[in-house]
């Protein structure tokens, strides 16, 4: 990066020395990208400008490989879908009107590569970053959730990465005082060397308090507040998140801190409270968090979204390292920093609030009536650029994409020829093997390291299908979230797999009793330079967008993470889908465990087909991945959600659990164990017990209804055209799960199988 010279590379100097060789390639810029910068500026960029462009034009910040396809989300969003959207793609996070004047904002972001290099800090700062994104919308962060993916559970490196990531999520999130209400833990060999650490945050505000990031009004002051700026994370965006894990020894020979940033959750907690007080006192015109690309990103995005230029004096930035160059200050990714635009008359009040919270706040510049973002250092101009060219006009690639020739072979290798269990003993053994597999075993070893209680509004949390948070204590209005993706399905058929991820998250939200309302995503894929990966990406985007249009739920934002691969082997394509739902009265939530009412009837809603492509059974028992994933019927999913929401509102359902990985067997085991209640399951004598127990057909939910509500509920299902089958009863007097004519299990036996696995691997 910047060489240590006594001469400051000013814009004037750059204009005089066009031939100076610049390390643009090391910074991740292609030849034509560098040439474009020279064309934009009419001269070579200064060191500081080159640092800004290189981080802002990196894949991570500019979405240069994905932008072309992401436009499809907007193309498929109808005016009706837009109705409840207060802010969408392009803002820090999407914002949705959830009624009663409340607006809710939510987003998922990846922090994959840093978490492989340094699991604890990578995961911790992932949480910190997403929380600041939510804060930058003017919302109070309410809860977090973390979809995580690792290599095989018994792999040596997973023992390094998983405990570190979980401790990092816990260490940062718990100290921030945000309940962790959900997420995922998934194991697959393609994630070895490429763990996925996605972080979700949900926040709420009064609709009129929405703060969008922009710098308007000449004369308004730019205030940087929060932590000091140091050498940490420099180059993290352009180097780490773009292509390689190569070291971070600077070109100039100066030793820098590791590229992975170090988090300080205490500073962030104080920053949250400070920001909320600043919002409440209405002393902020615009606000932006500092995340990837640090000040480069914050200043250029604020200026690009405003109506004028901006002047920033880097000498005023509070530093915690000596001898930093302008380029280093601009690209530092020191955590826990925010940038605000403040009217001159409010600066004193702003500073007073920051003093109360012991938050360092410094006026570093102002909005100007010029066109450019101008940055000075030691009294000389080191940056003078049109801000939009940095923030929004980065390169856009039309990467080639093509269905890989191998896809046909993958799909024709169906699981039909795999040996299936048939005798009662074999079925019994299969159930226990699946329940105790790392794929399906209880996640309690992970989730009990997370505080799910703080703030006292958590209504549902893991192991429930969705996390549910009360937003308004007086009205009991609440929201719920679920994130899902079965990447084996996506691998077999990216279009349908993405729709299945959407269907599952949508169904999980409805299973708690909430009406699904909006969608976010975190699209984790391999290298975009591989046409096969780009095809997976293009298909997944289309599948998700078309699915959202069919369900009438808008995509409000998202995140893309490419280059998740080792050598030529990419991860399974993993478009994590997050669905947000709203519930009028959280007291009507539907829990997961049975036994809440005396004598419940178990009803299976939906159709069960012989569908084992990408299933847990094929994966765990046969190490097989081939064929096609289950069919998806989004109209059915919509009807199911209607029934669940109506059933919750009218008190007809006392427990519900979505059927997904592991099918009916896994769902009934979890409902019994969570509810600490025995049950009897009656299979259809005319159908194959193996298919009934383990098929992963989508569009199904197992519900428990009080006996008194059974008739009313089943009549509603019939009237709405959703098939149902009475498949058993809960028995609170029993400590057994009996699957009639197949096997009987003690709940203790099941609990040991389900809960014993992760502690044995990781404790």
**Cα separation values, 630 from 489, 501, 641, Å:** 8, 11, 19
343 is a contact residue toward another protein (CB under 8 A):
no
Closer residue to another protein, CB minimum distance, 82 or 160: 160
Choice from 164, 183, 235, 265 touching another protein (CB under 8 A): 265
A 10 A CB-CB count for 696 gives 28
The single residue of 69, 111, 619, 624 carrying the catalytic annotation is 111
Gap between the Cα atoms of 211 and 105, Å rounded: 11
Beta bridge partners of 205: 103
Site residues for another protein, 504-523, by CB under 8 A, read: none
Q: How far is the CB of 119 from another protein (least distance, A)?
A: 14
Beta bridge partners of 618: none
How do beta strands 196-206 and 221-226 pair?
unpaired
Gap between the Cα atoms of 221 and 349, Å rounded: 13
| Known catalytic membership, residue 542 | no
Choice from 451, 738, 749, 755 touching another protein (CB under 8 A): 451
Residue 521 annotated as lining a ligand binding site:
yes
Residue 619 annotated as lining a ligand binding site:
no
Choice from 335, 458, 508, 714 touching another protein (CB under 8 A): 458
Beta bridge partners of 744: 738
Closer residue to another protein, CB minimum distance, 595 or 699: 595
Helix (H) or strand (E) holding 387: helix 387-391
Q: Output the 3-class SS for 230-242.
A: CCCCCCHHHHHCC
Read off the DSSP letter of residue 341. Answer: E
Closer residue to another protein, CB minimum distance, 164 or 258: 164
Q: Which stretch binds another protein (CB under 8 A): 27-35, 241-249, 277-285, 454-462?
A: 454-462
Gap between the Cα atoms of 73 and 65, Å rounded: 15
Choice from 264, 313, 597, 658 touching another protein (CB under 8 A): 264
Q: How far is CA 690 from the centre of its chain?
A: 35
In 3D, which of 253, 213, 259, 224 has the Cα closest to residue 240? Answer: 259
Query: Position of tokens 């390639």?
Result: 25
Q: How far is the CB of 270 from another protein (least distance, A)?
A: 5
177 is a contact residue toward another protein (CB under 8 A):
yes
Helix (H) or strand (E) holding 524: strand 515-524
Residue 289 annotated as lining a ligand binding site:
yes
Closer residue to another protein, CB minimum distance, 245 or 453: 453
Q: Which stretch binds another protein (CB under 8 A): 33-41, 445-453, 513-521, 744-752?
A: 445-453
In 3D, which of 249, 733, 146, 138 has the Cα closest to residue 462? Answer: 146
Q: How far is the CB of 452 from another protein (least distance, A)?
A: 6
Q: Which stretch binds another protein (CB under 8 A): 262-270, 506-514, 519-527, 574-582?
A: 262-270
Read off the DSSP letter of residue 448. Answer: T
Choice from 245, 246, 266, 684 touching another protein (CB under 8 A): 266
Residue 63 annotated as lining a ligand binding site:
yes
Six token digits for residue 719 = 């009237």
Closer residue to another protein, CB minimum distance, 362 or 449: 449
Read off the DSSP letter of residue 623. Answer: -
Taking CB under 8 A as the rule, which mask of x and - marks residues 573-602 in contact with another protein? -------------xx---------------
Choice from 198, 267, 592, 660 touching another protein (CB under 8 A): 267
Residue 474 annotated as lining a ligand binding site:
no
Residue 335 annotated as lining a ligand binding site:
yes
Closer residue to another protein, CB minimum distance, 458 or 695: 458
Q: How far is the CB of 471 from another protein (least distance, A)?
A: 13
| Known catalytic membership, residue 60 | yes
Choice from 358, 474, 567, 568 touching another protein (CB under 8 A): 358
Closer residue to another protein, CB minimum distance, 175 or 682: 175
Q: Which stretch binds another protein (CB under 8 A): 186-194, 321-329, 456-464, 549-557?
A: 456-464
Choice from 1, 96, 170, 201 touching another protein (CB under 8 A): 170
Q: How far is the CB of 476 from another protein (least distance, A)?
A: 9
Q: Which stretch binds another protein (CB under 8 A): 126-134, 263-271, 674-682, 748-756?
A: 263-271
Residue 235 annotated as lining a ligand binding site:
no
Following DSSP, what letter does each residue of 684-744 receive, concatenated?
-TTS-HHHHHH---SS-EEEEEEGGGHHHHHHHHHHHT--EEEEEEEETT--EEEETTTEE
452 is a contact residue toward another protein (CB under 8 A):
yes
Q: How far is the CB of 762 from another protein (least distance, A)?
A: 10
Helix (H) or strand (E) holding 515: strand 515-524
Choice from 449, 475, 565, 736 touching another protein (CB under 8 A): 449
Q: How far is the CB of 456 from another protein (least distance, A)?
A: 4
> What b/e string do you get for 209-225 counting C-beta neighbours within 10 Å, with b at 16 or more?
bbbbbbbebeebbbbbb
Helix (H) or strand (E) holding 53: helix 47-56
**Cα separation values, 229 from 129, 225, 226, Å:** 16, 10, 9
**Cα separation values, 534 from 112, 238, 651, Å:** 19, 21, 47
Query: Position of tokens 């200026």?
Result: 303
Closer residue to another protein, CB minimum distance, 448 or 566: 448
Closer residue to another protein, CB minimum distance, 451 or 642: 451
Residue 307 annotated as lining a ligand binding site:
no
Six token digits for residue 7 = 């001469």
Residue 84 annotated as lining a ligand binding site:
no
Taking CB under 8 A as the rule, which mask of x and - marks residues 461-480 in contact with another protein? ---------x--x-------
**Cα separation values, 249 from 30, 52, 253, 424, 704, Å:** 21, 19, 7, 62, 60
Catalytic center residues: 60, 111
- In the complex, the residues that contact another protein under the rule CB under 8 A are 167, 170-171, 174-177, 264-267, 269-270, 357-358, 447-459, 470, 473, 586-587, 763
Binding residues for substrate: 110-113, 132, 261, 333-335, 561
Residue positions in the annotated binding site for ATP? 63, 107, 521, 558
């Amino acid at each position: 990066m910047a060489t240590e010279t006594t001469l400051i590379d000013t814009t004037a100097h750059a204009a005089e020395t066009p031939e100076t060789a610049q390390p643009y390639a090391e910074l991740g810029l292609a030849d034509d990208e560098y040439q474009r910068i020279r064309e934009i500026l009419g001269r070579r960029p200064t060191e500081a400008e080159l640092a800004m462009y290189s981080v802002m034009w990196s894949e991570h910040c500019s979405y240069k490989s994905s932008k072309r396809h992401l436009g499809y989300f907007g193309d498929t969003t109808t005016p009706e879908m837009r109705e409840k959207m207060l802010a969408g793609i392009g803002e820090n996070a999407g914002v949705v009107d959830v009624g009663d004047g409340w607006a809710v904002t939510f987003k998922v972001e990846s922090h994959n590569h840093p978490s492989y290099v340094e699991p604890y800090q990578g995961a911790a700062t992932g949480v910190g970053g997403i929380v600041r994104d939510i804060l930058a919308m003017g919302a109070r962060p309410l809860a977090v959730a973390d979809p995580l993916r690792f290599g095989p559970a018994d792999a040596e490196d997973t023992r390094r990465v998983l405990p570190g990531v979980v401790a990092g999520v816990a260490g940062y999130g718990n100290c921030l005082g945000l309940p962790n209400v959900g997420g995922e833990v998934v194991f697959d060999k393609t994630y070895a060397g490429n763990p996925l650490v996605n972080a979700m945050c949900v926040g709420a505000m009064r609709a009129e308090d929405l703060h969008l990031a922009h710098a308007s009004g000449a004369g308004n002051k730019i205030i940087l507040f929060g932590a000091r700026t140091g050498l940490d994370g420099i180059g993290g965006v352009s180097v780490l998140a773009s292509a390689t894990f190569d070291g971070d020894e600077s070109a100039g020979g100066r030793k820098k801190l590791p590229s992975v940033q170090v988090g300080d959750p205490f500073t962030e907690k104080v920053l949250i409270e400070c920001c909320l007080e600043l919002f409440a006192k209405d002393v902020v015109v615009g606000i932006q968090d500092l995340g990837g690309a640090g000040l480069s990103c914050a200043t250029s995005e604020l200026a690009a979204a405003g109506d004028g230029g901006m002047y920033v004096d880097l000498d005023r930035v509070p530093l915690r390292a000596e001898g930093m160059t302008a380029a280093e200050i601009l690209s530092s990714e020191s955590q826990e920093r925010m940038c605000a635009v403040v009217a001159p008359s409010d600066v004193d009040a702003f500073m007073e609030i920051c003093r109360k919270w012991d938050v360092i706040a410094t006026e570093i510049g102002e909005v100007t009536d010029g066109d450019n973002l101008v940055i000075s250092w030691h009294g000389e101009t080191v940056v003078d650029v049109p801000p939009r060219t940095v923030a929004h006009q980065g390169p856009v690639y039309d990467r080639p994409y093509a269905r890989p020739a191998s896809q046909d072979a993958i799909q024709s290798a169906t699981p039909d020829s795999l040996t299936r269990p048939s005798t009662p003993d074999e079925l019994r053994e299969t159930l226990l093997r699946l329940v105790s597999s790392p794929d399906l075993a209880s996640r309690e070893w992970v989730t009990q390291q997370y505080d799910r209680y703080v703030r006292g509004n958590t209504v549902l949390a893991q192991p429930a299908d969705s996390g549910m948070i009360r937003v308004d204590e007086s009205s009991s209005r609440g929201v719920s979230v679920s994130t899902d993706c079965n990447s084996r399905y996506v691998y077999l058929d990216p279009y349908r797999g993405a729709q299945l991820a959407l269907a599952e998250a949508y169904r999980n939200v409805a299973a708690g009793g909430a009406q699904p309302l909006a969608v976010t995503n975190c699209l984790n894929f391999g290298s975009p330079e591989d046409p096969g990966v780009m095809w997976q990406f293009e298909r997944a985007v289309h599948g998700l967008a078309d699915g959202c249009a069919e369900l009438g739920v808008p995509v409000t934002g998202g995140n893309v993470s490419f280059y998740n691969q080792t050598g030529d082997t990419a991860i399974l394509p993993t478009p994590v889908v997050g669905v947000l739902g709203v519930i009028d009265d959280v007291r009507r939530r539907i829990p997961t465990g049975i036994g809440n009412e005396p004598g419940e009837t178990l009803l299976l809603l939906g159709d069960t087909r012989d569908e084992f492509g990408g299933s847990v059974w094929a994966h765990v028992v046969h190490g097989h991945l081939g064929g096609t994933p289950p069919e998806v019927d989004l109209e059915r999913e919509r009807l199911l959600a209607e029934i669940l929401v109506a059933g919750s509102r009218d008190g007809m359902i006392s427990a519900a659990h979505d059927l997904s990985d592991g099918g009916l067997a896994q769902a009934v085991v979890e409902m019994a164990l969570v509810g600490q209640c025995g049950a009897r399951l009656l299979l259809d004598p005319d159908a194959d017990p193996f298919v009934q127990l383990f098929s992963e057909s989508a569009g199904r939910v197992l519900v428990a209804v009080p006996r008194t509500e059974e008739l009313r509920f089943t009549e509603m299902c019939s009237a709405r055209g959703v098939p149902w089958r009475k498949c058993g009863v809960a028995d609170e007097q029993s400590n057994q799960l009996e699957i009639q004519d197949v096997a009987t299990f003690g709940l203790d036996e099941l609990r040991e199988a389900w809960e014993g696995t992760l502690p044995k691997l990781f404790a």
